[in-house]
Structure 1
């Protein structure tokens, strides 16, 4: 399995970012880490190994970037407005830098977005904001309401980075063409967030699969079961 390390200076963030890329060809999948996780977390916890077959067969090429959780939603040392503003710059990094990079390398016109836990938020937020760039969305134990991190403050940057707020009135045609899977489990602490997002999608008649696994908790073992299954549905 090919593994490459990348470090680059992001002009949008005015900071260096790091990333691991697995595979040398195939459908581009951008896979985010969980809360404050680094670019190597999905490898360290076996999520990459769980989909080795897809990588070895050249079916997918997986990009595992850093996030800026500690400089955005989780940074209690700055104001909620600054947390949201910093995250808006992270979104610009994705749309201006990483997604075009992945598309160019693979020759594919759209990407898949995926992530576990808070990584599911990153994946869903980008997919629903930029559906013209995303063909597949796979979340595993995700939470999708960012207002828990904003101390009661609210502005446009929060609205447009909070899927449960902006999605109800979003009528971008590509939303109805996306392959969407919301993975959760019976004892998942984020199960209610998945039910809420599924309800919004149902109200909009957006086809999706709410996958509730029995007897499982919010943890890596069930995510390692989900991820290969979800990759097999890429269209």
Structure 2
């Protein structure tokens, strides 16, 4: 697998941003880390190794992005309003800095988003907020209700970054064109979140796959099974 390190100054974050890319060509896939994870996490836990075949065949080029969760959702030293504002800057970085670069490097019009655990939230929230840009969403043990990170605070910024709130009312026609996989397990603490989001999608008539794996926990071994299975579907 061809691995490349990238770093640049982000005007949206007012600081440096780092990522790793894997592969040389193919469909661009933005892979978000777990809670407060770093850009090298998916490599360290062998998630990239599980999809080596797809990378070597040139089916996908994977962009393992850094997170800023420590400055946003998990930053208890600032107000909830500032936490959500910091996340919005991160969303804009992915939208206006990373996505254009990935599209230019691969020659594709759309991207795939994917992530495990809290990375599943990021993948889903970005995809549902910008469905014109995202062709596929692969969430593995994701959460989709972010209000637990905000100490009871709620405003429009929270609403528009909380998929279980804004998605039921969203009529963007591109949502019906997206290929969506929600992966979870029978022992996953996020199982109820996935079932809830699946019900919302079903009520809207949006086709998707709710994949509930048996005898598995919320952990890397099952995600290493899910990820290649989902890539094989597209």
Does the pair score TM above 0.5? Answer: yes
Tell me how far 1:26 sits from its aligned partner: 0.4
Within 1, Cα distance between the matches of 2:120 and 2:27?
19
Within 2, Cα distance between the matches of 1:166 and 1:67?
23
Within 2, Cα distance between the matches of 1:37 and 1:142?
14
Within 2, Cα distance between the matches of 1:112 and 1:225?
18
**Structure 2 stretches of 5 or more lacking a match?**
none
Give the corresponding residue for 2:195.
Answer: 195
Give the corresponding residue for 1:27.
Answer: 27
- Residues 80-129 of structure 1: CA distance to partner in whole angstroms, max 9, x if unpaired? 00000000111111110111110110000000000000000000000000
Give the corresponding residue for 1:184.
Answer: 184
What SS does the corresponding residue of 2:206 show, helix, strand or coil?
Answer: coil
Give the corresponding residue for 1:88.
Answer: 88
What SS does the corresponding residue of 1:83 show, helix, strand or coil?
Answer: helix
What SS does the corresponding residue of 1:127 show, helix, strand or coil?
Answer: helix
Matching of residue 39 in structure 1 with residue 44 in structure 2: no
Give the corresponding residue for 1:107.
Answer: 107
Within 1, Cα distance between the matches of 2:133 and 2:155?
25
What is the root-mean-square deviation of aligned Cα atoms in Å? 0.5
How many positions carry a matched residue from both structures? 234
- Residues 119-176 of structure 1: CA distance to partner in whole angstroms, max 9, x if unpaired? 0000000000000000000000001100000111111111111101110000001100
Alignment of 1:144-223 (within 5 A): 144-223=144-223
Runs of 4+, deviation exceeding 4 Å: none
What SS does the corresponding residue of 2:151 show, helix, strand or coil?
Answer: coil
Give the corresponding residue for 1:129.
Answer: 129
Within 2, Cα distance between the matches of 1:44 and 1:144?
25
Within 1, Cα distance between the matches of 2:160 and 2:101?
24
Give the corresponding residue for 1:57.
Answer: 57
- Residues 17-52 of structure 1: CA distance to partner in whole angstroms, max 9, x if unpaired? 110000000010000100011000000001000000
Tell me how far 1:188 sits from its aligned partner: 0.5
Within 1, Cα distance between the matches of 2:105 and 2:171?
30
